[in-house]
Structure formats: structure tokens, C-alpha cells
Amino acid sequence: MRLIVIGCEYTGKSTLLNSLAEWGRREGIHFHLDDHFTIPGEQHLGEEDKKMMVALTPTIKERFQRFQVYYHIDVAHKNQHIILVGFHIEEAIYGPLYYYPPQQVMYAREVEDKMPPDTILTLLTASPEVIARRMEEQPHEYSIIKKEDIPMLLNRFNEEFGRSHIRRKFRIDTSNFTPEELFGEFMSSVVTHLSSEDLLRMLVQRTMAK
């Protein structure tokens, strides 16, 4: 399964990633996981490195983000099971708003055209009120978005989802889901988008893991 998970901050992307990683371990499926496209990219960085990433100039941020997006096209081709969180679509939205305004990201569709054809795009969304509440109750250390931007960001993610050249795609509203319910909804929705090779591979790996 090659999966790109997108959505406004606080819609549950990392929560879904963790659930899928745990499911993969149980089923004998090793996912290559990349959840570091949101600056500072906390997945593999220490505190000092995070501070340095945040302090980079807009020009360097743009270059670094563009380079890592293109680099992961090759990573996606080399890994049968991979989850990219945010990736190029998040960059097309957050970049011009927060990292290097007003420069626009012009390569989103090109990236999609270079991705493996079995790539699946999942948009997680939620109501503005739910996102605002999550921001207040469980604030991220390096939160990117602004409360007043939430409705606009939800619209932008929906627009980019609609424009995407990736054919296998679906959306999930996480407003009223627990982490367990979100995982269950994802598994129910993704089945119809899996390639026959994916379905067979997952069946074989599940059998071997037992």
C-alpha cells in the first residue's frame, strides 16, 4: 500500500499513521513511514535541530522542502508499503502561507504524475469547531496553523484534493471519530482502492505472519 495522507493540522493524520503502523506490525507488513514534511519535521530531529529548522530563511525553507518532496518520489517507488503524511499537497498550502510567502508551489501535479500508479490519496477533514477545540485541548509544540485560518485551510485542502491527478482517493471526516473508529473507517474505505497486487500481497503476508 502506497498512501499519502493529507489534511489540515489537527485532523488526525499522525493518529491514523500510528494506527496503521501498529496494524502493519501485527500483520507482518513493514511500512516506510514519513511524517516529517511539516516544518520543523519532528519525526527524526532533536530539539536543537527543530529550532534550527524553524529559524531557516524563507529561501532555504523553500529549497529544502522542494528537495525532500522530490526525493520521496523515488522513495515511494522503492517501497511497496509507504505512508507519506502531508507531502506535496501540504507543502502547496502551507508553503506560500507560512514558510516562504508569497512564493507559490507550482510542482504539485508534476509530483503526482511521477508517483507510482497504485498510490492512494486520503484526505482527513473535520469541522472548524472541532479543529479549534483540538488546538486548545492538545496543542502541538510546533503548531503551524492559525485559528483564524482554519476555514480557509479546510477549503484549500479540499481544493487540492479535487485537483489531484491521483485517481485512487477518498476522504474521511474525523470530527466524531475516536482513533479506533478512524482506523476502522479507513480500512473499510481503502479496500476498494487497493490494487489486486496489494490485496494479494497483504493476504500472503497476513497468512505468513500467523
CB 205 within 8 A of CB 26: no
507482518: which residue's cell? Answer: 28
138-162: pLDDT as tens digits? 999 999 999 999 999 999 999 999 9
Average pLDDT over residues 115-127: 98
Q: Domain spans of the chain? A: 2-209
Interatomic CA distance for residues 138 and 146, integer angstroms: 14
Average pLDDT over residues 179-205: 85
493518529: which residue's cell? Answer: 15
Q: What is the CB neighbour count within 10 angstroms for residue 28?
A: 14
Interatomic CA distance for residues 119 and 3, integer angstroms: 6
Tell me the pTM.
Answer: 0.93
| pLDDT recorded at residue 195 | 81
| pLDDT recorded at residue 2 | 96
Q: Is residue 178 helix, strand or coil?
A: coil
206 confidence band (pLDDT: 50, 70, 90): low
CATH class of 2-209: alpha beta
Q: Is residue 8 helix, strand or coil?
A: coil
Query: In percent, how much of the chain has pLDDT > 70?
Result: 95
Given a cut of 70, whether residue 111 has pLDDT beyond it is yes
Reference 166, options 1, 4, 30, 58; nearest CA is: 4
Given a cut of 70, whether residue 113 has pLDDT beyond it is yes
| pLDDT recorded at residue 208 | 59
